[in-house]
Structure 1
Amino acid sequence: MNLLTRADQLREGRTPFVLATVVRAERPTSAKAGDRALVLPDGTIEGFVGGTCAESTVRLQGLRLLETGESTLLRITPDDDGPDARPGAEGLLTVANPCLSGGTLEIFLEAMIPAPLVFVYGEAPVARALTEVADAIGWHGFLAPSAETPIPLDAGAVVVASHGRDEAEILTAAVKAGIPYVALVASRKRAAAVLAELSLTEAEQSAIHAPAGLDIGARTAAEIALSVLAEVIAARPRQTAPPPGQVMLPLIEKPAAVTIAKDPVCDMDVAVVPDALHYQHEGVVYYFCGTGCRRAFADNPARYLLRWTPDHSGQL
């Protein structure tokens, strides 16, 4: 399958990924300018951007970008000063990779994060305006056709604007699903009455914004929609970099953390994912950036374990 066709499928399925494109290759390298690969949330790589050493670096940095939602130019180059990733010029990340056979790769890593989803239930003008305004600000507004429409688990907001129809069922389902922002479009008096009827704890009820929206003096349907989306944006959690030694996968896939291990041969960081190169020795699994390091370790584990410390044993 064409890689860009696969990328379109991932977008349609609201699956985040990183598109890695080789923009410059300095020989000797196995990759050439124009080669592409996709980095998926589970660490799987589809496509080709170089050998196992380059692939290991692209995987790790791609997973980090899925957490922050940013994009960057990655420069992978041999370096005698050590394998640590370091910033270069603005927008450039340089990683010293001793596995490379003398060449340098520059790869643009573009994080493709699905637009935040606003799930709207109702047929009122405000409901339609919510989807239109959401689309206008680069979000994705979805107007549910019926109360039976399942709420997507990756929804950033669920807003009920149905003027009394199926409000309790939708609000309860959204709260139980852990949607970050749940709101009811109603007057203060009616909102209080609806909340009192819900079979939710006091803490769960307090998570519902009722009435929805910031008080900006909105009158028209479009203005009310604007006030609601302003509150959604104000209430959303701020994205931060993952803690040292971990890559937090986006919630759209599932809450998870990828442990980072150190290659015992070259000391490079390696993302511990199902298809990462590894070798088991005396009941302990070690992870490697490339086949060369794994082969060297397998030939003589004692040589590398002499300098092995607890700080290098996996979780950092």
Structure 2
Amino acid sequence: MTPDPQRPTGDTEFIPDLPERLAGLAREGAAVVVATVVSRRAPVSAQVGDKALIHADGRMEGFVGGACSREIVRRQALLALQGGQARLVRIVPGAAPDAEHAFAERVTVPMNCASEGESEVFLEPLLPPRLLVVVGRTPVARAIAAHAALMGDRVWRVLDDDEVPGEPDAVPLGALTARLSALPAAQRARVRSVVASQGHYDETAIEALLRAQPNPVGLLASPKRAANVRETLAMLSGFGEADLGRVRAPVGLNVGARTPHEVALSVLAELVQLDRQEASPTRPVPAAEQAPAAPVPTPADPSPMPSALLAQVMDLTVLNAEPADAGSAVDPVCGMTVTLPARHTADHAGVTYAFCCPHCKARFLKDPARYLTPG
């Protein structure tokens, strides 16, 4: 038998053991559509109850009809997978076709082959649960994680390494890149993330997220603070406009939120909106729904920071820690009073300086003389 040149490699007309196949795909975090013939009118080759699996790459296992029906089911299954919504597909000779849409629940498709029979095929997309990475030990971060779990998301709470002992189920920030990189590609594609540490370790978390997964990263921050974070990342990590453009800030729809739970609602509402827009790229989005893209600032000095300085700035450990009662110091860049021991410090000419954030530390290390000159 001559292979069909249009059939994706790996197509088969049988499924050895459907329950085991589905369990294995779930463990892999793969997305798949289960197609089941639910009605037929002869002459058609499929029988009621016949099943097939359609994978995200179009590969098909099982049997739900002949060549024409098979390709119709394949196309409709990929649309159902895109929209994440089950649909009933009626395959009818001579029927007027329905418009294709990722969110259609019932679709009629004309059978243009010689067959005179009809069939109905139910398509059920099985998607791995979305993984939501929530960074921070703030009230808003806790509220986002709690509401996301109620929505069925798989949630990772990410905390600074020294905060984890108090919350053993949390993911240490230092292990985040490795944990994300270890996920199957299908799961990494469904990662969503919100950084809500509110200045404590925003830059470190965003760098890890931008490097380890391909999706936008939400940042809970004011526009001015978000611009500073982008500038710091550009200075320290060499990120270009494409990567920095994935940082969405301020994250969340403008619903007038005030309490942590209201802010969580606005953040999760934006994630739902983004998912729907992504699944239906042809749907025009009303102007009122469109979130303006955050501006990407151009660093005054685009030269990359040496790797040794980068390691110093992005290190979350407290360098040269003083005793707990050591008092305070003044950040030489912004003039803010910093309580000692400071999280962000740097040595220059035998003196240890303390900083309020990685942004100030990065500026100092690039040009210490600028900030140590009187006036």
TM, length-normalised to structure 1: 0.60
| Residues 76, 97 of structure 1: 8 Å contact kept | no
Give the SS at the match of 1:110.
strand
1:146 pairs with 2:146: no
User: Shift of the alpha carbon at 1:33?
Assistant: 1.3
1:119 pairs with 2:133: yes
| Residues 214, 227 of structure 1: 8 Å contact kept | yes
Match of 1:49 among 57, 64, 83: 64
| Residues 181, 235 of structure 1: 8 Å contact kept | no
Match of 1:21 among 30, 36, 44: 36
Superposed counterparts of 1:71-86, under 5 Å: 71-77=86-92, 79=93, 81=94, 86=97
User: Within 1, Cα distance between the matches of 2:274 and 2:83?
Assistant: 18
Match of 1:87 in 2: 98
Aligned length: 238
User: Shift of the alpha carbon at 1:162?
Assistant: 3.3
TM, length-normalised to structure 2: 0.52
Give the SS at the match of 2:81.
helix
Give the SS at the match of 2:176.
coil
Deviation string for 1:200-245 (max 9, x for gaps)? 44665454234433454544432232222233344553533779xx
Give the SS at the match of 1:149.
helix
Match of 2:196 in 1: 161
Residue type matched to 1:146 in 2? P
1:172 pairs with 2:207: yes
Match of 2:270 in 1: 231
Q: Any unmatched runs of 5+ in structure 2?
A: 1-15, 159-170, 181-186, 284-375
Q: Which one has more relative contact order, counting CA pairs under 8 Å at least 6 apart?
A: 1
Identity of matched residues, % = 37
Match of 1:240 in 2: 280
Deviation string for 1:72-130 (max 9, x for gaps)? 322334x4x5xx87139982313314254x54322112233445432222343433322
| Residues 98, 107 of structure 2: 8 Å contact kept | yes
User: Within 2, Cα distance between the matches of 1:183 and 1:217?
Assistant: 18
Residue type matched to 2:269 in 1? A
Q: 1:60 to 1:209 in 2, by over 3 A?
A: closer
Decide which structure has greater strand share: 1
Match of 1:107 in 2: 121
Superposed counterparts of 1:2-13, under 5 Å: 2-13=17-28
1:185 pairs with 2:220: yes
| Residues 124, 163 of structure 1: 8 Å contact kept | yes
Root mean square deviation of aligned Cα? 3.6
Q: 1:158 to 1:3 in 2, by over 3 A?
A: same
User: Within 1, Cα distance between the matches of 2:201 and 2:98?
Assistant: 52
| Residues 130, 141 of structure 1: 8 Å contact kept | no
Residue type matched to 1:239 in 2? A
User: Within 2, Cα distance between the matches of 1:122 and 1:234?
Assistant: 23
Which stretch shows the higher mean deviation, 14-23 or 45-54? 45-54
Q: 1:139 to 1:99 in 2, by over 3 A?
A: farther
Residue type matched to 2:89 in 1? L
Match of 2:232 in 1: 197
User: Shift of the alpha carbon at 1:32?
Assistant: 1.7
User: Shift of the alpha carbon at 1:171?
Assistant: 0.8
Deviation string for 1:235-282 (max 9, x for gaps)? 553533779xxxxxxxxxxxxxxxxxxxxxxxxxxxxxxxxxxxxxxx
